[in-house]
Amino acid sequence: MRKYILHIFLLLISSIAFAQNSMVKMQSETSQIRIGEQFNLSVTVNETENVILPKLELKGLEVIDSSKVDTLNNVLIQKYIITGFDSGAYYIPQQQIFVKNQAYLTDSLLINVVTVPIDTTKIKKFPIKAIKAEPYVFDDFKMYIYILIAALIIIGFWIYYFVFRKRKIEEDIPTYKALPPYDEAMFKLNELDEKLLWQNNKTKEYYSELTDILRGYIERELHVPALEKTTDEIIETLTDFNTSNTILTSNETIKKLKDLLQEADLVKFAKSKPLALEIEEDRKDAEDIVSNLKPKPAIEDDELE
């Protein structure tokens, strides 16, 4: 009876071992290598689902590389490239692999790393070579390239600014600046109308441009620095000119100018808001002022004779 029980026990052990070996296997293409030589190690599992492979940990040997897990004919294959740099005999221990939550063990492998005998008497001796310079790469020149690009950009900017931009500014000078004072003032008044400033609640900007047109006209036509003078100073100067009969105008025109400049001052500084009819009337007065404020023509010599 005991012999039958022992026999059955041995059969169970052998069947378990066979199942272990048939499910997982670890193989090496060689059992002996020379120092620094590489060899392939493969782990195969006869199952592809729910397989957990361990991290291969070695002593005396090193894993150089490992391939991606591959499957072939329902067999999972993991390959490694291994080498050794010290002579001796090294074991690749059993690897525990889980397949569907059940543990399986591979066989262990023995790898011999042997030295390569060298006969130094037969080795030809060569002189020591000089240090070889590394080849040039882009990083060696990139700083100089960046500096050159920056210098070219700066030079290009200065050329554009002092040559082309200056020429463009000269070409873009409005032609009305070369017009006579009266024509220039009328052109600017029509241009102001097209902006529709006061119609878009920009009354302050409208009166500012309107008075600048009148002041610019007086400055060019009568040679009075109107842009630098206050309203009272302008009116006082024009009154003196009219009294001394040096300009062609009337007291009514001077009064219109005074009222218009004072109205503009109230809008700009006192936040006054004139009605639309008042603004239109001021625009009309501005055109009348330009038309009726002229310098007295010079008397030619023929007329004096």
Place of tokens 């030619």: 300
Number of Cβ atoms within 10 Å of the Cβ of 59: 8
Q: Look-up: residue for tokens 């042997």? A: 114
Q: What is the pLDDT along the chain (305 residues), one digit of tens a residue?
A: 565 554 445 444 444 444 455 789 898 889 899 998 999 988 899 887 888 888 888 888 988 888 888 888 888 888 989 999 888 899 889 888 898 889 998 888 899 999 877 666 666 777 777 777 778 777 778 888 889 999 999 998 888 877 777 676 666 655 545 689 999 999 999 999 999 999 999 999 999 999 999 999 999 998 888 888 899 999 999 898 888 888 888 899 999 999 999 999 999 898 888 999 999 999 999 999 999 999 888 664 444 44
Domain assignment present for 125: no
| Pick from 179, 217, 186, 234: nearest CA to 295 | 217
Within-domain flag for 103: yes
Domain end, chosen from 171, 190, 216, is at 171
Render the burial of 198-213: b for 16+ CB within 10 Å, e for the rest: beeeebbbbbebbbeb
The rounded distance, in Å, linking the Cα atoms of 65 and 49 is 24
Same domain, 146 and 165: yes
Distances in Å between the Cα of 195 and the Cα atoms of 55, 150, 188, 226 are: 80, 43, 11, 24
**DSSP element (H, E) containing 258:** helix 251-269
Return the pLDDT at 58.
85
Assess if residue 3 is contained within a domain: no
Buried b (16+ CB within 10 A) or exposed e, 99-108: beeeebbbee
Q: Does residue 218 share a domain with residue 285?
A: yes
Question: Do residues 220 and 289 both lie within one domain?
Answer: yes
Split into its structural domains, the chain has a count of 3
Least Cα distance to 61 among 28, 87, 43, 96 occurs for: 87
Domain shared by 69 and 102, yes or no: yes
Which residues, including other chains, have CB under 8 Å from residue 292's CB and lie 6 or more apart? 249, 250, 253
User: In terms of domains, do 262 and 202 share one?
Assistant: yes
For 166, the domain range is 139-171
Instruction: Judge if 232 and 289 occupy the same domain.
Output: yes
Q: Which of 171, 190, 215 is the last residue of a domain?
A: 171
